[in-house]
Amino acid sequence: MRLILCGPPGAGKGTQCKRIVDKYALTHLSSGDILRAERAAGTELGKKAQGYMDTGALVPDDVIIGMMIGAIKKAAGNYVLDGFPRTLPQAEGLDKALREAGEKVDAIVNLLVDDEVIEKRLTGRRSCPTCGAVYHIENLPPKVDGQCDKSCGQLVQRDDDKPDVVRNRLKTYHEQTEAVVGFYEAEGRSILNINADRDIDEVTTAVFAALNKIDG
């Protein structure tokens, strides 16, 4: 099964990807995770991408396409793409590469959440720079305000979760990434629109129900 998971930043793509991976035995290919790993390792790709990621802008298409095609080839035809493709050139590049390999995307899972909800989700997140634990000032607050529950110390707000950056990320999503869904719809691919503004387990149930129809 070859899937693409779409949706605005903060829609819960990472969580749903992990559950899809577990149920259908797929490889989770997250462009964000791969890029962050490259940045942490101090590679040339990581250095090139850092400036774009810290401002909420998109990393250039040619860099992302090459990186993701390489990861897709290793997945041997069973994967869910998280955070890719984000632009029409990326979608076209992916489609071309898959056609050359005699493959195609089976379905696009499209998580739908209003901008106002996304802003609250992202700007309220706080993380521990030591252990990586993630909290939310309203939905999942730490036991002591501003402090990690594991006694690691002060929690921080990631640069890409700050209000101005979140708004820029949403603007970028609407201007560029939404068109990807339209591209696949025009290609006749299955678009599975899922309301993601509800309990995580309810979203998962809806995703599995939609995917079972495709898989069946």
Q: In this predicted structure, what is the pLDDT of residue 216? A: 52
pTM for the structure as a whole: 0.80
Q: What angle do CA 43, 45, 49 make, to 5 degrees?
A: 120
Give backbone dihedrals phi and psi of 215, rounded to 5 degrees, phi first: -65, -30
For 204-214, write each residue's pLDDT tens digit: 999 999 999 88
Please write the tens of the pLDDT for every residue from 37-66: 778 888 777 787 787 777 777 778 877 887
2 is a catalytic site residue: no
Task: For tokens 């990186």, name the residue.
Answer: 67
Residue 171's pLDDT is 93
Which of the following is catalytic: 18, 39, 86, 162? Answer: 86
Q: What is the pLDDT of residues 75-122, one digit of tens each?
A: 888 999 988 998 899 999 999 988 888 888 999 999 999 999 999 999
Other beta carbons within 10 Å of 34: 21
Active site residue 158: yes
- 125 catalytic residue (yes or no): yes
Query: Which of 158, 162, 167, 189 is flagged as catalytic?
Result: 158
pLDDT at site 215: 63
Q: Buried b / exposed e across 96-109, counting CB within 10 Å, b at 16+?
A: ebbeeeeeebebbb
- Tell me which CATH code domain 2-114+164-215 carries: 3.40.50.300
**What average pLDDT does the structure give for the chain?**
89
Question: Taking a C-beta distance cutoff of 8 angstroms, is the pair 208, 23 a contact?
Answer: yes
- Give pLDDT, residue 31: 81
Write down the pLDDT at residue 120. Answer: 94
- The question of whether 162 is a catalytic residue gets the answer no
126 is catalytic: no
CB 191 within 8 A of CB 184: yes
Per-residue pLDDT at 124 exceeds 60 = yes
